[in-house]
Structure 1
Amino acid sequence: MKIIVPMAGLGSRIRPHSLTVPKPLIPVAGSPIVHRLVRDIAKILDQPIEEIAFILGDPTFFGDEVTTQLGELATSLGAKASIYRQGEALGTGHAIMSAEPSLSGPAVIAYADALIRADLELDPDADSVIWTKTVANPEAYGVVKLNEKQDIIELVEKPSTFVSDQAVIGIYYFKDVAVLKEKLQEVIDENIMNGGEYQINDGIKKMMAEGRIFKTGTVDEWMDCGNKEVAIETNSKMLQFLHDDGQEQLVADNVTLENSKIIPPCFVGDNVVLKNTTIGPGVAIGAGTTIEDSTITHSLIQKQSYIKNVQWTEAMIGNKVHFDGSFTRVSLGDYSVMK
Structure 2
Amino acid sequence: MKIIVPMAGRGSRLRPHTLTVPKPLIPVAGKPIVHRLVSDIAKVLGEPIDEIAFILGDPAFFGDDVVSSLTELAEGLGAKASIYRQDRPLGTGHAIMSAKESLSGPAVIAYADTLIRADFNLDKEADSVIWVKQVDQPEAYGVVKLNDKNEIVELVEKPQEFVSDLAVIGIYYFKDVGVLKNELQYVLDNNIINGGEYQINDGIKRMMASGKVFVTGKVDEWMDCGNKNVTVETNSRMLGFLQKDGEKLVSETVTQDNTTIIPPCYIGEGVTLRNTTIGPNVSVGNGCTIEDSTIKNSLIQTQTVIKNANLHNAMIGNNAIYDGKFKTVSIGDYSVLE
Interval containing the TM-score (normalised by the shorter chain): over 0.9
Structure 2 segments unaligned to the other structure (5+ residues): none
Q: Is the 8 A contact 1:7 1:55 kept in 2?
A: yes
User: Separation in 2 of the partners of 1:326 and 1:198?
Assistant: 50
| 2:79 alignment counterpart | 79
| 1:69 alignment counterpart | 69
| 2:151 alignment counterpart | 151
Offset, 1:119: 1.1
TM-score by length of 2: 0.96
Moved more, 43-52 or 115-124: 115-124
SS at match of 2:208: helix
User: Separation in 2 of the partners of 1:17 and 1:130?
Assistant: 30
2:268 aligned with 1:250, yes or no? no
SS at match of 1:96: helix
| 2:241 alignment counterpart | 241
Against the structure 1 CA distance between its residues 233 and 103, is the aligned structure 2 distance closer, same or farther, given a 3 Å change threshold?
A: same
Moved more, 149-158 or 120-129: 120-129
Q: Is the 8 A contact 2:310 2:324 kept in 1?
A: no
User: Separation in 1 of the partners of 2:222 and 2:332?
Assistant: 26
Q: Is the 8 A contact 1:311 1:326 kept in 2?
A: no
| 2:283 alignment counterpart | 284
Q: Is the 8 A contact 1:51 1:80 kept in 2?
A: yes
User: Separation in 2 of the partners of 1:320 and 1:314?
Assistant: 19
Moved more, 42-51 or 113-122: 113-122
Give deviations 1:234-278, integer Å, cap 9, x for gaps: 0000000000001x3210001000000110000000000000000
Give the paired residue count: 331
| 2:129 alignment counterpart | 129
User: Separation in 1 of the partners of 2:287 and 2:25?
Assistant: 18
**2:114 aligned partner, one-letter code:** A
SS at match of 1:194: coil
User: Separation in 1 of the partners of 2:116 and 2:2?
Assistant: 18
Structure 1 outlier segments of 4+, above 6 Å? none
Structure 1 segments unaligned to the other structure (5+ residues): none
| 2:268 alignment counterpart | 269
Give deviations 1:275-309, integer Å, cap 9, x for gaps: 00000010000000000000000000000000000
User: Separation in 1 of the partners of 2:212 and 2:137?
Assistant: 29
**2:195 aligned partner, one-letter code:** G
**2:181 aligned partner, one-letter code:** K
TM-score by length of 1: 0.96
User: Separation in 1 of the partners of 2:178 and 2:57?
Assistant: 23
Offset, 1:325: 1.1
**1:204 aligned partner, one-letter code:** I
Q: Is the 8 A contact 1:108 1:173 kept in 2?
A: yes
Percent of aligned pairs with the same amino acid: 72
Offset, 1:124: 2.9
**2:52 aligned partner, one-letter code:** I
Give deviations 1:24-74, integer Å, cap 9, x for gaps: 000000000000000010111110000000000000000000000000000
Moved more, 121-130 or 313-322: 121-130
| 1:111 alignment counterpart | 111
| 1:55 alignment counterpart | 55
SS at match of 1:202: helix
| 1:164 alignment counterpart | 164
**2:85 aligned partner, one-letter code:** R
Give deviations 1:86-128, integer Å, cap 9, x for gaps: 0000000000000000000000000000100011322132000
Offset, 1:333: 7.8
| 1:206 alignment counterpart | 206
Q: Is the 8 A contact 1:318 1:333 kept in 2?
A: no
Give deviations 1:196-249, integer Å, cap 9, x for gaps: 100000000000000000000110100000100000000000000000001x32
| Cα-Cα RMSD | 1.4
Offset, 1:326: 5.5
**1:95 aligned partner, one-letter code:** A
